[in-house]
Amino acid sequence: MAMPQLAKVANRCEVNRGRLKKEALVEVIADCRRFSIASMLDSLKLEELRNLAAKLGVSTSGKNRDELIAEISGDQRRDMRARILKSLRRQGFQVRKGRLSLPEEIDKDWLRQLHAEAVDHKREKARESLGRKEPALLNWIADGKEVDPCAISPALVEVLPGSIEELLFRYACLHWSIPVSSGYGRRLRYVVVDQSNNKLIGLIGLGDPVFALAPRDNWIGWNSEQRRKGLHHVIDAFVLGAVPPYSYLLCGKLIAMLAACREVTARFQEKYGGQQALISQTERSGEVALITTTSALGRSSLYNRLTFRSDKMFEPVGFTRGSGEFQFLNGLYDEMNEFATKKLVPTAKNELWGSGFRNRREVVKKCIQAAGLQQDLLYHGVQREVFVVPTARNTCEYLRGEDMEIDFFERSAEDVFEWFRERWLMDRAQRMPTYREFTRSSYTLWPE
């Protein structure tokens, strides 16, 4: 069909031609027609849909309304809708009136199960790149009998691209009970190694914070302009934790405290100080005034009452709203991303950010909208406790712009470990020697 004739068809279908070329215009018209057919099929009852599908030779086995409508009409938007809803219900979410809801009685085991599909998917994706390396990576994990609490000597080893530490970091993250983010923007990662036996104690991952986090912002007491100017002095700990058998010795507390030691914050400043902001083109100092983190599963027993000598290091300031995208990370996001790339248009943004969709949140929001679902599906209801870790005596005043110079706490990694050893380690080792029973073979993800 010639372009003038195609333009007439587009007008009759109420399709905005814009500057679309012929092939793209044909696809848009086809999408419009499929959507119209799907909308008409909405008026049919489930039994009527099944009868229609049978007459058209479409299998009805195990399909719900949305799946039948998608297959009969060929409407990819309706197909995406069916995939989204089916995936959410399979994970354990209840979908009522376009919103997600959780059972009234939930515990940490239930929350782990809720994340299980996303965790399994992440592990399966990593199998190809890490599976063959697992025997070598397991050598970094200690048997319980290889750990002598009296001899433990932690060392911070920065994770560099292409290093064995990078592989080890990725591998250990796959054992977390929730899918671990890769972090955003600026990043600094460490593996903490026991120098007495060259075994892994735990992981530290630091990156850029989210722009708006009400519990954090309320605690600081800054306004929107102060936040815009000061947010680059805040970093988020997206990974904090110990691996077994060190986790049995409460070394998760050690890892958490080490994230705020001066060696780490000074390294972050060294790495990113003097860089220019992409949009404002202003130079940044890289000083870290505050670290934030959130608990993995509801309230945290790891960070609560975590002190360095007489000072509380981790301050609980509230809970997240329970929004995010983990419920789409069980493999569904890959399909949503492909759908968005082919069918949807990114939101206009600053040209310095590049082309394409801005981030994962935009892809998910666009797909949900295109599928005719409510944005409320981004609110999964799993609230996480928010903690702030000031690195200076005048953190809030500095972030609000009231103080021009920052007065850092001088907490070295050595001082932190000595305090941890005195306060928690030796007592725990004596009272709960079960760490000795741990075997590295139980850490295997992909048995042969």
pLDDT, tens digit, 9 for 90 and up, residues 97-107: 778 887 777 77
Phi and psi at 96, nearest 5°, equal: -130, 120
- Indicate whether 82 belongs to any domain: no
Record the pTM.
0.82
Tell me if 93 sits within 8 A of 381, measured CB to CB: no
Between helix 360-370 and helix 332-343 the angle, nearest 10°, is 70
As given in the structure block, the two tokens for residue 285 are 């100092």
- Indicate whether 227 belongs to any domain: yes
Say which range, 201-215, 254-268, 345-359, has the weakest mean pLDDT.
345-359
- Indicate whether 4 belongs to any domain: no
Q: How many domains does the chain have?
A: 1
Structural domain range at position 185: 108-115+127-287+410-443
- Indicate whether 81 belongs to any domain: no
**pLDDT above 60 for 14:** no
- Model pLDDT, residue 51: 76
- Indicate whether 332 belongs to any domain: no
Phi-psi sector, 81: left (phi>0), alpha (psi -120 to 50), beta: alpha
Higher pLDDT, 387 or 34: 387
- Model pLDDT, residue 444: 97
Q: Is the Cα torsion angle 411, 412, 417, 418 positive or negative in sign?
A: negative
- Indicate whether 193 belongs to any domain: yes
Average pLDDT, stretch 159-177?
95
245: Cα separation from own chain's centroid: 25
**pLDDT above 90 for 169:** yes
Percentage, residues of the chain above pLDDT 90 = 49
Average pLDDT, stretch 366-389?
87
* Separation CA 355–CA 154 (nearest Å): 43
Percentage, residues of the chain above pLDDT 70 = 83
* Separation CA 297–CA 428 (nearest Å): 23
Average pLDDT, stretch 175-195?
89
- Indicate whether 131 belongs to any domain: yes
Phi-psi sector, 359: left (phi>0), alpha (psi -120 to 50), beta: beta
Taking every pair of Cα atoms in the chain, the longest distance, rounded to a whole number of angstroms, is 85
Cβ atoms < 10 Å from Cβ of 424: 16
Tell me if 318 sits within 8 A of 215, measured CB to CB: yes
- Model pLDDT, residue 9: 44
- Indicate whether 149 belongs to any domain: yes
Greatest mean pLDDT among 300-314, 355-369, 387-401 lies in: 387-401
Question: Residue holding tokens 């409508």?
Answer: 69
| Nearest partner of 320 among 376, 263, 398, 383, judged by Cα | 383
